[in-house]
């Protein structure tokens, strides 16, 4: 069975600084997707960034980028130039290609300090 | 377009009572999903509808949970009778077929507290 582990329950970062959130996963599949979702307080969860496992190039979306290490089964999220609006719960998620079911981690609460 | 809407946003009920959560997906989205996050734990899959049919309900905890999707539009998740361990945040999400990489559109969740 697939699992996703987020070992940091909470992280803090100073505004304008960079922070990295960790995520590791376990799977025996070769074709899958990885995602980072963000949930601000009392608001809907939104997709931040996604990575297809067959792509070696790390995905980037503006200030958000990932470090995808397939052999190590690691998928960390880097947030550059952190902003107050980045404060949220961040969930790492896995999905096997061709399926519809996400496997989520336990989440990391990110605090951004002014 | 309107997003995925869930209500109520919060519900506090006593053990043994019944609660019904509702989810309105994005119009035209055939796929509808329910997930649950128990405090401090991972978000877990409950079930998946394709239109009005249950495609997979393998994540439903037990027979106290009943999900329906009337006419392939909105969905309800009823818990009867509620137990303390049912407390958590219930998320609904929807998607179009063939959009696996684009992810789902989630609602804001319903926070259920059973006391």
Counting DSSP H helices and E strands in chain B, the numbers are 0, 11
> Looking at the predicted structure, is the pLDDT value of residue B63 above 80?
yes
Over residues A20-31, mean pLDDT = 96
SS3 helix, strand, coil % of chain B, rounded to 5?
10, 50, 45
Contact A45, A38 (CB under 8 A): yes
- Provide the 8-state DSSP code for A81: S
- Provide the 8-state DSSP code for A55: -
Contact A25, A73 (CB under 8 A): yes
**Chain A environment of B101 (Cβ under 8 Å):** 33, 50, 52
**Strands, DSSP E only, in chain A?**
3-5, 10-14, 19-21, 24-26, 32-39, 46-52, 60-61, 64-69, 74-79, 88-96, 103-104, 108-113
Interface of A with B in 26-65 (CB under 8 A): 33, 35, 37, 39, 42-47, 50, 52
Q: Predicted confidence band at B101 (pLDDT cuts at 50, 70, 90)?
A: low
Cα–Cα distance between B72 and B42 in angstroms, integer? 28
> Looking at the predicted structure, is the pLDDT value of residue A33 above 70?
yes
Q: Predicted confidence band at A76 (pLDDT cuts at 50, 70, 90)?
A: very high
> Looking at the predicted structure, is the pLDDT value of residue B100 above 70?
no
> Looking at the predicted structure, is the pLDDT value of residue B99 above 80?
no
**Model pLDDT for residues B13-38, shown as the tens digit of each residue:** 999 999 999 999 999 899 999 999 99
Over residues B43-47, mean pLDDT = 95
**Chain B environment of A44 (Cβ under 8 Å):** 3-4, 105-109
């Amino acid at each position: 069975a697939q699992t996703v582990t987020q070992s940091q329950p909470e992280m803090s970062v100073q505004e304008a600084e960079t922070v990295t959130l960790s995520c590791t996963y376990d799977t025996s599949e070769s074709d899958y997707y990885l995602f980072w979702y963000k949930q601000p307080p009392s608001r809907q969860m939104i997709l931040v960034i996604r990575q297809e496992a067959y792509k070696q190039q790390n995905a980037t979306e503006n200030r958000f980028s990932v470090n995808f290490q397939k052999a190590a089964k690691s998928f960390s999220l880097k947030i550059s130039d952190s902003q107050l609006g980045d404060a949220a719960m961040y969930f790492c998620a896995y999905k096997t290609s061709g399926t519809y079911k996400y496997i989520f981690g336990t989440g990391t609460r990110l605090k951004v300090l002014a | 377009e309107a997003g995925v809407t869930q209500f109520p946003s919060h519900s506090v009920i006593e053990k043994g009572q019944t609660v019904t959560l509702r989810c309105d997906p994005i119009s035209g989205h055939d796929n509808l999903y329910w997930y649950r996050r128990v405090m401090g734990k991972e978000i877990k899959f409950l079930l998946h509808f394709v239109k009005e049919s249950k495609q997979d309900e393998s994540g439903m905890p037990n027979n106290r949970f009943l999900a329906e999707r009337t006419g392939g539009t909105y969905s309800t998740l009823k818990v009867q009778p509620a137990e303390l361990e049912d407390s958590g945040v219930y998320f609904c999400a929807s998607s179009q077929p063939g959009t696996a990489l684009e992810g789902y559109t989630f609602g804001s969740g319903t926070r259920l507290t059973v006391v």
